[in-house]
Structure 1
Amino acid sequence: MTRPVLELRALGRTYGTGPTRVESLVGVDLSVGAGELLAVMGPSGSGKSTLLMLAGGLDSPTTGAVLVEGEEISGMSRRKQAALRRRSIGYVFQDLNLIPALTAAENVALPLELDGTPARKARTAADAALAEVGIPELAERFPDDMSGGQQQRVAIARALVGERRLVLADEPTGALDSATGEAVLRVLRARCDAGAAAVLVTHEARHAAWADRIVFLRDGRLVDDTGRTDTADSLLSRDCAP
């Protein structure tokens, strides 16, 4: 069998102690293979964003392990973790995290330049990524001069730039209209079809329908793992019910 791009083993994350202790994730086992788009669904507070933070090495698990292409992230030095994120992991944050002083192209090119890619080559890749998400004309514009939806697409381009083996997207279509959101999901689907692995956090069944597989979280626990995307509506109606 081909080794998974992402593997979560008995993953747990607890915040606080005593009466303020919160178990954000509890014993999650999950793997995502090359070419696979996985959708993660669940109510607010179910642990979806925590799962992505741990998968991307942006937080450390309390228990269990995260492996990217067979290597355990928590066993790496901070320097090696940072290099892995720059080279192999693209992340779309809910709050975008664009740098206001950089243009769209500079924001997108930054991970490549930090990893030592020559500026001209990084810029070429950034322009290609911006074109891929449909906003090549915004290359020289600063984030404060863009709409929320335009900023979102710049953040998605940054996550896709270069040869990303793993793309983690936290509600990537939240600020986009329906047509633009579908176009972005089409780009993400194409990346997976070309061999990348992706994890998409979404609360919308129509977006989850782009995935090969859906997992459902409730109270930090994995309660459903299905290969049938046409069950998204039934999962939502059953597991999000009051």
Structure 2
Amino acid sequence: MTDAAASSAPSQPVLHLDTVTRVHGEGETEVQALKAVTFAAHAGELVAVMGPSGSGKSTLLTLAGGLDAPTSGTVSVEGVDLAGLGQKGRARMRRTSIGYVFQDFNLIPALTAVENVALPLELDGVGGRVARERATAALAEVGIADLADRFPDNMSGGQQQRVAIARAVVGERRLILADEPTGALDTETGEEILRLLRARCDAGAAGVLVTHEARHAAWADRVVFLRDGVIVDETGTDGVEALVVDSGATR
């Protein structure tokens, strides 16, 4: 391959789902949450996933994060098939390479903000002092370093979600997965959360944002539409710009 051809060749995606199917239940209760879905997200790219309730959006995200396994097909992160890692290997991948932002925050009430953010680092063997330093830096990145010693119950919803994002990006996370991260937030705080996700992707991470609102999807580089477990459409840069205009969102 020539140097020119090599430079123009597409890079390996950070996240790749290859003909992934996920079936829940058996017989009459069987439900196909995803049907032979192929999907990818590259470094520096934020991809929004939209679709009606029950379309498979959250299933796609749980499979991407190694929280569930496909019935068939492969899910790879940075070229590594998650199925081949085993349960412990997938847990380590989530601690080191995959950040997951949940709609309901999933913070540990008994831990302070900095302790919540430092926890995945400490579980991965990082020393307490270094883990706290990195956690404090992540809190500063999301603008709440001054809340490091505050407990979740003493924070607003927006502040808790910022802690959750700091936990998702601390360390060398290459893939950020966000499941309706603004669902419980007011409009202004929600826009700030999306701005933070966008900035992290601009810094080199790959991001996948599940949302049902066009104004939130307008922050993405691409929008993928799911219906009944199948990708039915995809909008590139031009389509995203149209979402910006239609929803009045700003990037």
Query: Is TM more than 0.5 here?
Result: yes
Matched residues, number: 236
- Aligned-residue Cα RMSD (Å) equals 1.8
Cα distance in 2 for partners of 1:232, 1:89 equals 28
Aligned mate of 1:230, from 236, 241, 244: 241
Cα distance in 1 for partners of 2:185, 2:217 equals 16
Deviates more, 1:65-74 or 1:174-183: 174-183
Instruction: Confirm whether residue 16 of structure 1 aligns to residue 25 of structure 2.
Output: yes
Corresponding residue number in structure 2 for 1:194? 203
Checking the alignment, whether the CA contact within 8 Å between 2:168 and 2:176 is kept in structure 1 is: yes
Instruction: Confirm whether residue 149 of structure 1 aligns to residue 158 of structure 2.
Output: yes
Corresponding residue number in structure 1 for 2:3? none
Gaps of 5+ in 1: 237-242
Corresponding residue number in structure 2 for 1:182? 191
Gaps of 5+ in 2: 1-9
Q: Structure 1 pair 233/22, CA: closer, same or farther in 2 (3 Å)? A: farther
Q: Secondary structure at the match of 1:77?
A: helix
Checking the alignment, whether the CA contact within 8 Å between 1:91 and 1:168 is kept in structure 2 is: yes
Q: Structure 1 pair 182/191, CA: closer, same or farther in 2 (3 Å)? A: same
Aligned mate of 1:39, from 24, 48, 52: 48
Deviates more, 1:122-131 or 1:212-221: 122-131
Deviates more, 1:181-190 or 1:200-209: 181-190
Cα distance in 2 for partners of 1:186, 1:234 equals 17
Instruction: Confirm whether residue 56 of structure 1 aligns to residue 65 of structure 2.
Output: yes
Give the C-alpha shift of residue 146 in structure 1.
2.1
Cα distance in 1 for partners of 2:234, 2:200 equals 22
User: Percent sequence identity over matched residues?
Assistant: 68
Q: Secondary structure at the match of 1:9?
A: strand
CA deviation vs aligned residue, 1:64-108 (integer Å, no higher than 9, x gap): 110101110011122221111111000012232211111111001
Q: What is the TM-score normalised by the length of structure 1?
A: 0.92
Give the C-alpha shift of residue 190 in structure 1.
1.4
Checking the alignment, whether the CA contact within 8 Å between 1:47 and 1:220 is kept in structure 2 is: yes
Checking the alignment, whether the CA contact within 8 Å between 2:98 and 2:177 is kept in structure 1 is: yes
Cα distance in 2 for partners of 1:177, 1:235 equals 20
Q: What is the TM-score normalised by the length of structure 2?
A: 0.89
